Amino acid sequence: MTRRSFLALGGGLAAGFGGLPAWLARAASAAAATKRTLAVLFLRGAADGLNILAPWKDPLYKRLRPSIALAAPGADGGCLDLDGRFGLHPSLAPLLPLYRSRDLAFVHAAGSPDPTRSHFDAQDYMECGVTGRAAADGWMNRALAAAPSWRTGPLAAVAVAARLPRSLRGAAPAMAFSDADQVRQGGLKVGGFEAMYDEAVDALLAGAAHDLREASGLLSRLPGKGKGDQEAAGYPKGPLGRDLFELARLLKADVGVRLAFVEAGGWDHHADEGAHAGRLAQRLGELGPGLAAFRADLGEKAGETLLLVMTEFGRAVQENGNRGTDHGHGSVMMLMGPGLRGGRVHGRWPGLEREALFEGRDLAVTTDYRQVLSEALRGPMGLSAAAGVFPGFKPGPATGVFS
């Protein structure tokens, strides 16, 4: 019996007998997780969760952001109402159908409990899965080390990036490249002196840890790509659309990717952030269409790909004198794919009253990002040995994000 027919049988049994027996439900869940991919999109620069997912019903939101707050749903340039409390930035309109079909969920007031407002420290801590210090390895690498069944080949852990991110560094093998054709055509290329020196150690370790010839053979499954294919598939122009297009190529070719990483910079908007128009809207104008195109481009693989979007911290609640926002604390996480209780805004909303703000100025973090990631690893990804992935972290009550 094939995996697909087993899952189809499981669905038929559930319908015919009022639910699966516990043992069969566990077996069906494990079978579904065997080929799933966990992909992370990291928004570098501290994306403003309060304007990505606006608390439009709260009068303090408009009062504290008189020139950059999004208007109420239905108004010119207004946000897109999700649940009567929160509204999606209009530049993310391509994601609204996914939310309504319950393939997309949000966790508001999410982030790291670490108080730092340094981009570099916060990114390092978050990618390492720790607080207060960086670690020698990243949380994604530790997850790969904890799941021997995931290490099926040289492309089990991949970053579509110019250099290996901290999330994937560690003892378990991982590979980074911005274009799969570079590997297929004879190896990785290092671009520029800075990358050459900064990543010399990574290149040596990656070369030693991977059989590039085997990776090249696997990547021969990828169909050729031509100029204009990215835009023809609905992806926006620019680095983010290009990288998501490249990741979708890898996943559709079924080359064994279990963990994937993509990044996008440009979210540090101290000036001219804007409301429905401005610098944030420009970045979201890439993100929304890019994610929607990625989901559509995956086809059948969409049901096997869980994508998490995260950022190192949020922005201050009150706008500054340059119509922008300064470094903050809590932000928002997005999740798209299987195993979700989608079509919901999860997380405990702390409110914008001064006494509820972190240090009297920032959105509080009420959901530790590691709680969401831990549940994703244990649930949709089926990793039973997830305890060591986040050293020192003690999981709390379930978020309800996953079914």
For the chain, give the percent of residues with pLDDT over 70: 85
Query: Is 27 a member of any domain?
Result: no
Q: Could you report the per-residue pLDDT of 273-284, keeping only the tens digit for each?
A: 999 999 999 999
Query: What pLDDT sits at residue 21?
Result: 57
Is residue 102 predicted with pLDDT exceeding 60? yes
- In Å, what is the CA distance from 258 to each residue of 37, 171, 188? 4, 16, 21
Query: What pLDDT sits at residue 387?
Result: 85
Residue 18 banded pLDDT, cuts 50, 70, 90:
very low
Query: What pLDDT sits at residue 28?
Result: 46
Q: Give me the mean pLDDT over the 246-275 stretch.
A: 97
Looking up tokens 């303090």 gives: 60
Query: Is 394 a member of any domain?
Result: no
> Which CATH number do you get for residue 174?
3.40.720
Query: What pLDDT sits at residue 225?
Result: 87
Query: Is 195 a member of any domain?
Result: yes
- Nearest C-alpha neighbor of 274 from the set 54, 21, 17, 96: 54
* Strand bridging mode 345-346 / 104-111: parallel
- Ranking 149-153, 185-189, 328-332 by mean pLDDT, the lowest is 185-189
Is residue 196 predicted with pLDDT exceeding 90? no
CA distance 177 to 164: 8
Query: What pLDDT sits at residue 35?
Result: 86
Query: Is 190 a member of any domain?
Result: yes
Query: Is 17 a member of any domain?
Result: no
Instruction: Look over the chain and give the mean of its residue pLDDT values, rounded to a whole number.
Output: 88
pTM of the model: 0.88
Query: What pLDDT sits at residue 23?
Result: 44
CA distance 346 to 119: 25
Query: What pLDDT sits at residue 226?
Result: 85
What is the count of structural domains for the chain?
1
Query: What pLDDT sits at residue 193?
Result: 37
Domain that holds residue 58: 36-389
Query: What pLDDT sits at residue 31?
Result: 52
